[in-house]
A and B are shown apart, each in its own frame.
Chain A
Amino acid sequence: MFTERRHDQLHWAEAYEIIRWHSDLAENTSDEGSGSLFIVGQGSFSLLSKIPSLGDFPFRRIWTEYVGELLEGSHVQRCGYIKSGATTFVPLHDCWLELGQTHVGATLSPSLMPPSPEERTEVFETLISSLESITDVEVLDKWMNLIVDREFEDFSGGLPDSAAVAIFGRLLQLDEDTSAKWLDRFLSEADALPFRPGHFQISILGTVAQAASENVLSQIIVERLQGEITSMVASNLPKISEATTASAAVESVILLLQAEDSPEAALRILNHVAKLLDVITKEHDKKFFLQFLSDSLGHFIGAENLQKHWLKLLVLSKFLRKESVLWPESGIVSLLQAVFVEPAQTALAAVK
């Protein structure tokens, strides 16, 4: 069959044949056929060829027929990957989209978007389904642009929010500059975006908090969030919406999760929360803020990893008390009550 030496001379028709061949191979045997175009290395394919004669039409044809086969097939184990630029053909890697017992996947550059709504939606769904295996920041960035600029709106009548959150989450793992750029836009243009204002920002901040809990958050993003909170504290708004209050709580959680567990950091976080509580004037709103802080912190910190954040939480328990929140039975308040507050009360009672 075709070998690596021939890739730079490939005509689109040959590339198509290779794809067909690969598909047939995968359907007929579990043998990975070492040495073929698609089976170079174990699990990762590099850029192998540029095919100057490949235009939009053949790509669409390849995509339509090949991916169609992949999605409908039941024995395919490997996939091709068609990358940005109408003339670049990049067999890439194992994909992991699970279809029952099958592991397949494929994606397509937004610049090669198929003309029909059905095909576009199919491309998009394939992208989302294989998101965890995609490492091309440019492709993800382009798709995000298409969604945010409302150039792609085929969500089967659904909403774009979850898709954008998922793509942003992947960008956070891959590229700090691109993710910081999007975070900035999401936070500063909430009302102009095609997402539910307020709610979408909280989802995005949740994704950032998840990255902070996994220690993969970049300093650029931390600084961006610190600036956001500083600006909120300085703005001295007469009324802060519940969505803004909740966002401030999640931003506080992010700062707490990424800070070291030292007395200095603990005091810094204490002062930060105290300043926010000063800005929030109504008693109910303060409870709302602390409840959201409790619930979102509780998502990341439990008895099993409390030790890692011990000093920070010890200090924060000044605010996170059962009488300070709306529903003390949920979130981290109940844990702090058991670990810090009740033992302290018992000790004090014994002294008296």
Chain B
Amino acid sequence: MIIFTEGKSFPIEFQTGDILFIAGRLPCDRSRKLPFEHVVLAAENRQISTANELLDLPVYGMPESQDSATNKVLLSNGWYWKNRSVIGVRLGSATTVWNLAARHPSITLQKAAYLSLLMSFQEGVLKFSYDTNFAVDHTLRKGIKTNCLGFVCSLLEYFKLNVLSRTFPEYESPYSNSPGRRTYPSPGHLAKALTYGTSHPYLAADEREAEWYATVVQTLEDLASQARDISAGD
């Protein structure tokens, strides 16, 4: 497991396949909906010592919207996100920030080196395209429409790493750009599943748990709270 909370835990050894989130910023304000959160996969093994270096780290993810017509995975980095406004929110602002990363325990250094090249191949051939809904294709061949979480889960499931249940108890979306009720997981559920070592595939016990952990920033809040408790205990 890797924990990064706004630069407090450097240096970090990233490896390919590590999962990075653009998440809400602490303190977690549950009274307001977040504009969105985003999840991507690190594309290289690299030691990161500063926040700017973190923004340099190449990552693979779904194009962030239907405007991106390349219909393939997109190699970008944190600067790409920081420099643009999405649905009226400037990334890196007080609302959203790169602030949590996680690693599936099965992705060893050897597998990460392989995954790095396999994702490059996928960049040339993958026919996924963006959609707000969550879908998973463990074969990577079907050209499905899916969101950023669906892309990451598809890559993981290709290697038989089934982290999330495909369907969830119905809950209220925490995001203002895709409001309404949903029955599929959100990025926060991936963060929880990887960070707390819950059994996989993770399925929220009920609507309350599904809603509570839907945002990545909730897991970040829990981690920060644990750190404060440990610090107070000392």
A residues apposed to B, CB below 8 Å: 96-100, 128-132, 155-159, 161-163, 165-166, 169, 196, 198-200, 202-210, 242-243, 246, 250, 288, 291-292, 295-296, 298-300, 302, 326-327, 329-330
B residues apposed to A, CB below 8 Å: 43-44, 55, 58, 66-70, 72-77, 79-80, 82-84, 110-111, 113-114, 116-118, 120-125, 139-141, 158-160
A98/B58 in contact, CB under 8 A:
no
CB contacts (< 8 Å) of B118 on chain A: these are 246, 292, 295
B124/A210 in contact, CB under 8 A:
yes
CB contacts (< 8 Å) of B122 on chain A: these are 206, 299
B114/A210 in contact, CB under 8 A:
no
Complex partner residue of B141 from A165, A250, A299, A327, CB under 8 angstroms: A299
A206/B123 in contact, CB under 8 A:
yes
**A94 to B: closest C-beta gap in Å:** 14
A157/B79 in contact, CB under 8 A:
yes
A166/B70 in contact, CB under 8 A:
yes
A132/B123 in contact, CB under 8 A:
no
**A196 to B: closest C-beta gap in Å:** 7
Query: How many angstroms between the C-alpha atoms of A243 and B44 in the bound complex?
Result: 13
Complex partner residue of B121 from A99, A100, A206, CB under 8 angstroms: A206
Query: How many angstroms between the C-alpha atoms of A329 and B106 in the bound complex?
Result: 14
Query: How many angstroms between the C-alpha atoms of A208 and B125 in the bound complex?
Result: 9
CB contacts (< 8 Å) of A129 on chain B: these are 67-69
**A328 to B: closest C-beta gap in Å:** 11
A128/B69 in contact, CB under 8 A:
yes
Complex partner residue of B159 from A100, A128, A206, A327, CB under 8 angstroms: A327
CB contacts (< 8 Å) of B111 on chain A: these are 327
Query: How many angstroms between the C-alpha atoms of A300 and B143 in the bound complex?
Result: 12
Complex partner residue of B80 from A132, A156, A210, A300, CB under 8 angstroms: A156
Complex partner residue of A209 from B72, B77, B84, B124, CB under 8 angstroms: B124
A97, A155, A299 pick with most chain B CB within 10 angstroms: A299
Query: How many angstroms between the C-alpha atoms of A326 and B160 in the bound complex?
Result: 14
Query: How many angstroms between the C-alpha atoms of A155 and B158 in the bound complex?
Result: 30
Complex partner residue of B123 from A97, A99, A155, A162, CB under 8 angstroms: A162
Query: How many angstroms between the C-alpha atoms of A148 and B207 in the bound complex?
Result: 51
Q: In this complex, what residue of A is CB-closest to B67?
A: A129
B113/A242 in contact, CB under 8 A:
yes
Complex partner residue of A155 from B44, B80, B82, B116, CB under 8 angstroms: B80
Q: In this complex, what residue of A is CB-closest to B80?
A: A158
A159/B76 in contact, CB under 8 A:
yes
Query: How many angstroms between the C-alpha atoms of A210 and B118 in the bound complex?
Result: 15
**B70 to A: closest C-beta gap in Å:** 4
**Given pairs A206-B123, A206-B125, 9 additional interface contacts (CB within 8 A):** A98-B66, A155-B80, A161-B123, A162-B72, A162-B123, A198-B117, A208-B124, A246-B121, A250-B121
Q: In this complex, what residue of B is CB-closest to A246?
A: B117
Q: Given A161-B75, A246-B117, are A98 and B124 neighbors across the interface (CB < 8 Å)?
A: no
Query: How many angstroms between the C-alpha atoms of A331 and B114 in the bound complex?
Result: 13
Q: In this complex, what residue of B is CB-closest to A167?
A: B70
CB contacts (< 8 Å) of B113 on chain A: these are 242
A128/B125 in contact, CB under 8 A:
no
A302/B139 in contact, CB under 8 A:
yes
Query: How many angstroms between the C-alpha atoms of A327 and B111 in the bound complex?
Result: 9
CB contacts (< 8 Å) of A291 on chain B: these are 114
Query: How many angstroms between the C-alpha atoms of A99 and B120 in the bound complex?
Result: 28
Q: Given A291-B114, A327-B159, A330-B159, are A196 and B123 neighbors across the interface (CB < 8 Å)?
A: no
**A53 to B: closest C-beta gap in Å:** 34
B77/A158 in contact, CB under 8 A:
yes
Complex partner residue of B83 from A99, A157, A202, A242, CB under 8 angstroms: A157
A203/B124 in contact, CB under 8 A:
yes
B124/A205 in contact, CB under 8 A:
yes
Q: Given A242-B113, A246-B117, A288-B114, are A159 and B125 neighbors across the interface (CB < 8 Å)?
A: no
A131/B70 in contact, CB under 8 A:
yes
Q: Given A99-B67, A242-B113, are A206 and B120 neighbors across the interface (CB < 8 Å)?
A: yes
**A101 to B: closest C-beta gap in Å:** 11
A166/B84 in contact, CB under 8 A:
no
CB contacts (< 8 Å) of A166 on chain B: these are 70, 72
Query: How many angstroms between the C-alpha atoms of A100 and B58 in the bound complex?
Result: 29
**A238 to B: closest C-beta gap in Å:** 20
